[in-house]
Structure 1
Amino acid sequence: MKKDNIVLDKSFRFAIRIIRLYQHLKDTKKEFVLSKQMLRSGTSVGANVREGNNAESKADFIHKMGVAQKEADETLYWLELLNATDYLTIAEFESIYQDANELLKLIRSIILTAKSNR
């Protein structure tokens, strides 16, 4: 029986939210530049988490999770810019920003645990 992997699940669901937000911004706000950056970094989080899940070593795992952490933090930056330039409503921003921040904290915690268990 396969054990649940919370960070894989959360990062996948987060990528879906990012894709839907990108579609909304592109279609209704006609915003293409910032939202594309957000799309790239936001979907990259889960891809790197998945790569880390298949790491060849503990060091490789920590590296891949480190990349996922950077991508999550970059996504926060793009969300902050989209909010500051009024492309997102307060409700849209707060909802997805909270998810991104929780994901970032989870990934940081995983990295710290992996480093201490080396």
Structure 2
Amino acid sequence: MENWEAGWDDGEVGESSFDYSNHTKSQFLDDVERRLKLFMVRCVKVCRTLPGSYDGQHFGQQLIRSSSSAAANFRAVRRGRSQKEYFAKLSVTIEELDESLFWLETLVSTDLMPEHRLADLIDEGYQLLKILSKSRKTASD
């Protein structure tokens, strides 16, 4: 199995995940990049609605930084010149996506945002995290 196949849905990701089994490597990479970029845009829009309090602004800035880093680093994954570079950039993407989920969950736990407003976004983040983590595991095998 090639690295790009590792993110294909095997039923573990969730009902709303995309089945990549009939898609080319390019289609898979395009879709994951699109989903990460949309995830980042949605995070930015959430941050625009946060209160101007110190915690609201701080958590919002952290969320924008981590979600935009995840999307940008995945672009770098696609342009990796070696297996080692691919693995390193993919690892950074996963770390930044996981940090984004931390900040989204923090917004809920600190009552800055109701859970029902972030549930779909958090679910999408976890789906992407599972896809990318599986891809990294395959790359290390």
What is the alpha-carbon distance in structure 1 between the residues aligned to residue 37 and residue 131 of structure 2?
A: 14
Is 1:8–2:33 an aligned residue pair? Answer: yes
Match of 2:22 in 1: none
What is the alpha-carbon distance in structure 2 between the residues aligned to residue 40 and residue 92 of structure 1?
A: 20
1:35-46 superposed matches below 5 A:
35-46=60-71
1:1-118 superposed matches below 5 A:
3-4=26-27, 5=29, 6-25=31-50, 29-30=51-52, 31-116=56-141
SS of equivalent residue, structure 1 residue 39: helix
* Identical pairs, percent: 27
Point out 4+ residue stretches in structure 1 off by more than 4 angstroms. Answer: none
What is the alpha-carbon distance in structure 1 between the residues aligned to residue 115 and residue 106 of structure 2?
A: 13
Q: Show structure 1 runs of 5+ residues with no match.
A: none
- RMSD value over aligned CA atoms? 1.4
Q: What number of residue pairs does the alignment pair up?
A: 112
Q: Show structure 2 runs of 5+ residues with no match.
A: 1-24
Q: How many angstroms does 1:76 deviate by?
A: 1.2
What is the alpha-carbon distance in structure 2 between the residues aligned to residue 47 and residue 99 of structure 1?
A: 17
What is the alpha-carbon distance in structure 2 between the residues aligned to residue 91 and residue 56 of structure 1?
A: 41
Higher helix share: 1
TM-score by length of 1: 0.88
Report which structure shows greater RCO (CA 8 Å, sep ≥6).
2
